[in-house]
Amino acid sequence: MKIEEEYTIRGFYRKIIRLEKVEEEFTIEDSKEPFVIPTETVYGLAARIDSDYAIKKIFEIKGRPSDNPLIVHISSLDMLDLLIEGEIPNEYKRLMEVFWPGPLSLVFKANKTISKCICGEGSDTVAIRMPKNPMLLRLIDKIGVPLAAPSANRSGRPSPTSVQHSIEDLGDKVSVYVDGGVCEIGIESTVVGMVESMPVILRPGGVTLEALEEVLGRRVGLRNTIQLNEKVMCPGQKYKHYSPSVPVYLFKGEDWVEDMKRVGKELEGKLIGLMGTGDMRNKVCVAKYYNLGDDKKECSRHIFRGLIELEKTCDVIFIKAFSLEDEGLAIMDRINRATTTIIE
């Protein structure tokens, strides 16, 4: 039985709209409550930014800490002008030309009219991005106001990259889901802010550090750990995240094959799922193998899917560390947060 049918039988109202049909089937009434949207990165739980009610409800549905600000999704540069204050930094202009629409969120000085729930208490900035999917941009146009949207999962859980994963996580807490198939990027947007006139990555994501540096022709900083007494630059980064319901073992050592065999023996009786790449399948014998793909781009697309699929059937998940170049930085950011045990 399909999930939609099962829920209808149990008496919940659920509207699932195919993205191609969203212009006709999505009504303004549907935008009064939070609803799930597909983006090229991950699925988002969206609220119109002019509805304090819907914005607050996002926090309630996700169980999200109230100090974690939201990313605002726009469909045009006219919308951007209404959200920010002051000049757009020149380096942002360059990044917007190259990466918008796309998986890059930029932190701007916020216009005073924007709800504190979006910027975060005590903060005067707002993170903004223009998502890539043309039909989603048309939906934002139709609604006529930008959408604030965190990932469409309960706080702490892996982000959904298909409508099915979002339904499994949020279920009947949300009644309107827009289905755009499987997300192309599979990992959230890169969040970039200006710190003392230097562009700094506050959360690694779909646009790599190397790509940003190439476009700007200068070094880009990276701040993904929050130190005590330091102003919190990206509140989301201080929380534990992306945790599946089973333990995740991260293998960092050169002798990872031997290490996996040894730890596998110690865990005798437990069903081990390995998220692997390339020819790893032939090197270690495990109950379940989830193939992330052959290169880092593919692996980043499948990382959340792998965690969500393996937790359904396995007792523990094994994964080998990636090097930090290119997509590896964002992949390791997510894996480090999902990990319960590190094997060095």
Binding residues for ligand TXA, rule: CB under 6 A, are: 39, 41-42, 44, 68-71, 103, 105, 107, 119, 123, 125-127, 149-151, 188-189, 191, 193, 202-203, 233-237
Cα torsion angle, 34, 244, 131, 135, sign: negative
Point out the residue whose Cβ comes nearest to Mg ion: 151
**Closer Cβ to ligand TXA, 105 or 277, answer by number:** 105
Whose CA is closest to 306, among 315, 317, 297, 295? 317
**Closer Cβ to ligand TXA, 37 or 316, answer by number:** 37
Q: Which element (helix H / strand E) includes 179?
A: strand 176-179
DSSP string, 9-74: HHT---EEEEGGGHHHH--GGGGGS-EEE--SSS-EEEEETT-HHHHHHHHHHHT--TTS--EEE-
Shortest reach from residue 254's CB to ligand TXA, in Å: 32
Shortest reach from residue 101's CB to ligand TXA, in Å: 11
69's contact among Mg ion, ligand TXA, none, with CB below 5 to 8 A by partner kind, is ligand TXA
CB proximity list for 50: less than 8 A, separation 6 or greater: 145
User: Look-up: residue for tokens 């999505």?
Assistant: 26
**Closer Cβ to Mg ion, 39 or 151, answer by number:** 151
Shortest reach from residue 210's CB to ligand TXA, in Å: 19
Within 151-210, which residues bind Mg ion (CB under 5 A)?
151
- The β-bridge partners of 320 are 251
Does residue number 68 form part of the binding site for Mg ion (CB under 5 A)?
no
125's contact among Mg ion, ligand TXA, none, with CB below 5 to 8 A by partner kind, is ligand TXA
Per DSSP, the three-state class of 319 is: strand
Copy the structure tokens of residue 198.
């230097």
Shortest reach from residue 130's CB to ligand TXA, in Å: 10
Within 36-65, which residues bind Mg ion (CB under 5 A)?
none
Q: Phi then psi for 23, rounded to 5 degrees?
A: -60, -40
Shortest reach from residue 160's CB to Mg ion, in Å: 10
Shortest reach from residue 47's CB to Mg ion, in Å: 15
Residues that bind Mg ion (CB under 5 A): 151
